[in-house]
Amino acid sequence: MAPQLAELIAALPETDAAAPAAVHAGLPDLLSRSSQRPIPIGRFQRLSALGTLQAKIGAAYLFHWLRGWFKSADENKRLLAEAHWKTAVRVLDSMSYLRGAVMKIGQTLANFPDIAPREFIETLDRLHFDAPPMHWSLLREMVHNELGDDPENLFESFEKQAFAAASLGQVHRARLKTGEEVAVKIQYPGIARAIESDFRNLFLFMMPARLSRDWENTKDQLEDLQRRLAQEADYVLEADNQRKARALFRDEDGIVVPRVFPQYSTSRILTMERLEGTHLREYVARNPSQAERNEVALKLLTSWYRMMYAGRMHYIDMHPGNYLVLEDGRLGLLDFGFIISLEGEEWELFRKVDRPLTTGRREDRIAVLKEWNEIRDDETDRLRLIDEFGAWCWMARYRGGVYGFDDEAEFRHGIDLFTEMLRKRYSRGRPNTPAMARGHFAWRALMYLLKAKVDIRSLAEREVKATGWDRSDYAPSP
Does position 3 interact with another protein (CB under 8 A)? The reply is no
The nearest distance, CB 190 to another protein, in angstroms, is: 4
The residue type of 21 is A
Residue 141 or residue 407: which is nearer to another protein going by CB? 141
The candidate with the shortest Cα–Cα distance to 450, out of 305, 280, 255, 276, is 280
Residue 97 or residue 163: which is nearer to another protein going by CB? 97
The nearest distance, CB 39 to another protein, in angstroms, is: 24
The candidate with the shortest Cα–Cα distance to 466, out of 323, 347, 339, is 347
Q: Name 341's Cβ contacts closer than 8 Å, sequence gap at least 6.
A: 312, 313, 314
Count of residues that interact with another protein, criterion CB under 8 A:
21
- The angle that helices 433-450 and 380-399 make with each other, rounded to 10 degrees, is 40
Residues in the chain: 478
Residue 73 or residue 138: which is nearer to another protein going by CB? 138
Q: Which stretch binds another protein (CB under 8 A): 28-36, 109-117, 137-145, 349-357?
A: 137-145
Residue 190 or residue 262: which is nearer to another protein going by CB? 190
Q: Which stretch binds another protein (CB under 8 A): 31-39, 131-139, 161-169, 292-300?
A: 131-139
The nearest distance, CB 11 to another protein, in angstroms, is: 22
**According to CB under 8 A, which residues from 457 to 476 bind another protein?**
none
The candidate with the shortest Cα–Cα distance to 400, out of 439, 351, 360, 442, is 360
Burial of 370: CB neighbours in 10 Å, binned 0-12, 13-18, 19+:
middle
The residue type of 178 is T
Does position 132 interact with another protein (CB under 8 A)? The reply is no
Does position 395 interact with another protein (CB under 8 A)? The reply is no
Does position 6 interact with another protein (CB under 8 A)? The reply is no
Residue 145 or residue 458: which is nearer to another protein going by CB? 145
- Collapse the DSSP code of 345 into the 3-class scheme (helix H, G, I; strand E, B; otherwise coil) and give the result: helix
Does position 136 interact with another protein (CB under 8 A)? The reply is yes
**According to CB under 8 A, which residues from 249 to 278 bind another protein?**
267-268
Does position 142 interact with another protein (CB under 8 A)? The reply is yes
The nearest distance, CB 137 to another protein, in angstroms, is: 4
Residue 115 or residue 184: which is nearer to another protein going by CB? 184
- Collapse the DSSP code of 332 into the 3-class scheme (helix H, G, I; strand E, B; otherwise coil) and give the result: strand
Query: Can you point out the beta strands (E) in 286-330?
Result: 313-315, 323-326
The nearest distance, CB 149 to another protein, in angstroms, is: 11
Does position 168 interact with another protein (CB under 8 A)? The reply is no
Does position 146 interact with another protein (CB under 8 A)? The reply is yes
The nearest distance, CB 160 to another protein, in angstroms, is: 9
208, 213, 214, 219 alpha-carbon torsion, rounded to 10°: 60
Does position 230 interact with another protein (CB under 8 A)? The reply is no
The candidate with the shortest Cα–Cα distance to 405, out of 454, 461, 458, is 454
Q: Name 238's Cβ contacts closer than 8 Å, sequence gap at least 6.
A: 231, 232, 270, 336, 337
Q: Name 210's Cβ contacts closer than 8 Å, sequence gap at least 6.
A: none
Does position 135 interact with another protein (CB under 8 A)? The reply is yes
Considering only 9, 11, 19, 194, the residue that binds another protein (CB under 8 A) is 194
User: How far are the Cα atoms of 137, 151, 160, 166 from residue 140, in angstroms, in the given order?
Assistant: 5, 6, 9, 18
The nearest distance, CB 388 to another protein, in angstroms, is: 47
The nearest distance, CB 87 to another protein, in angstroms, is: 23
How far is residue 105 CA from its own chain's centroid?
A: 8
Residue 4 or residue 218: which is nearer to another protein going by CB? 4
Residue 134 or residue 369: which is nearer to another protein going by CB? 134
Per-residue binding letters, 174-193, with another protein (x by CB under 8 A): --------------xxxx-x
57, 58, 60, 66 alpha-carbon torsion, rounded to 10°: 170
Does position 138 interact with another protein (CB under 8 A)? The reply is yes
Residue 31 or residue 142: which is nearer to another protein going by CB? 142
The nearest distance, CB 133 to another protein, in angstroms, is: 11
Does position 201 interact with another protein (CB under 8 A)? The reply is no
Q: How far is it, in rounded angstroms, from Cα 460 to Cα 457?
A: 5
Q: In the chain, helix, strand, coil percent, each to 5?
A: 60, 10, 30
Q: How far is it, in rounded angstroms, from Cα 186 to Cα 282?
A: 25
The nearest distance, CB 189 to another protein, in angstroms, is: 4
Does position 208 interact with another protein (CB under 8 A)? The reply is no
The candidate with the shortest Cα–Cα distance to 9, out of 78, 132, 106, is 106
In degrees and rounded to multiples of 5, residue 471 shows phi and psi of -115, 15
* Binding region for another protein (CB under 8 A): 96-97, 134-138, 140-142, 144-146, 188-191, 193-194, 267-268
